[in-house]
């Protein structure tokens, strides 16, 4: 599996989990907690793959526009990983406030995915080519296995 296909599959998983989470009610506290933990786990792995493998390759192979995409994507990750997600994880799942924060998280991630799939991934494909994407995909799969065996490895 090439790197873009793998990351796009991750996007689909996270979008489905976010959709399921956003459709829950205040009474579904256990389900909300479980879904949020799964989303957090998926995002940790996905972010590590992009930031350690894909983004550096894009930045190295590209020019000014790719460098801009690199920093923007990393900043979007930081906003989710350092601000929105930790705040949501410390919010009582049975509250309206939780639902509002889920909505913000969902919107940020959907925006990020749209930019990656619409701009960043096509640039990576063009700059790196099929062979490099296959090699990156293999590295990403190996990293995923390592992370699932030792969750703090990402």
Q: Give the CATH number, domain containing residue 108.
A: 1.20.120.520
Give the distance from CA 26 to its chain's centroid.
Answer: 26
141 inside domain: yes
51 inside domain: yes
CA dihedral of 115, 119, 125, 126, whole degrees rounded to 10: -170
Q: Are 93 and 33 in contact (CB under 8 A)?
A: yes
Full residue range of the structural domain in which residue 21 is found: 3-149
In the chain, helix, strand, coil percent, each to 5? 85, 0, 15
154 inside domain: no
Count of C-beta atoms within a 10 Å radius of residue 18: 21
Structural domain total, the chain: 1
User: How does DSSP classify residue 53?
Assistant: I
53 inside domain: yes
pTM to 2 decimals?
0.92
88 inside domain: yes
CA dihedral of 3, 111, 72, 82, whole degrees rounded to 10: -90
What is the CA angle 26-102-74, rounded to 5? 160
* Rounded CA separation 10/29 (Å): 25
Per-residue pLDDT of the chain (154 residues; tens, 9 = 90+): 899 999 999 999 999 999 999 999 999 999 999 999 999 999 999 999 999 999 999 999 999 999 999 999 999 999 999 999 999 999 999 999 999 999 999 999 999 999 999 999 999 999 999 999 999 999 999 999 888 776 665 6
At residue 148, the pLDDT reads 75
């Amino acid at each position: 599996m090439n790197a873009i296909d793998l990351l796009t599959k991750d996007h689909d998983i996270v979008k489905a989990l976010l959709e399921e989470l956003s459709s829950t009610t205040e009474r579904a506290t256990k389900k909300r907690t479980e879904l949020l933990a799964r989303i957090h786990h998926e995002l940790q792995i996905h972010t590590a793959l992009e930031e350690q493998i894909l983004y550096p390759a894009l930045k190295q192979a590209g020019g000014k526009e790719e460098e801009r995409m690199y920093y923007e994507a990393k900043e979007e990750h930081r906003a989710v990983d350092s601000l929105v997600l930790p705040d949501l994880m410390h919010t009582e799942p049975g509250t309206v406030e939780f639902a509002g924060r889920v909505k913000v998280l969902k919107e940020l991630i959907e925006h990020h995915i749209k930019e990656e799939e619409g701009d960043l991934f096509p640039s990576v494909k063009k700059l790196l080519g099929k062979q490099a994407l296959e090699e990156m995909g293999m590295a990403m799969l190996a990293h995923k296995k390592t992370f699932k065996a030792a969750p703090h490895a990402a």
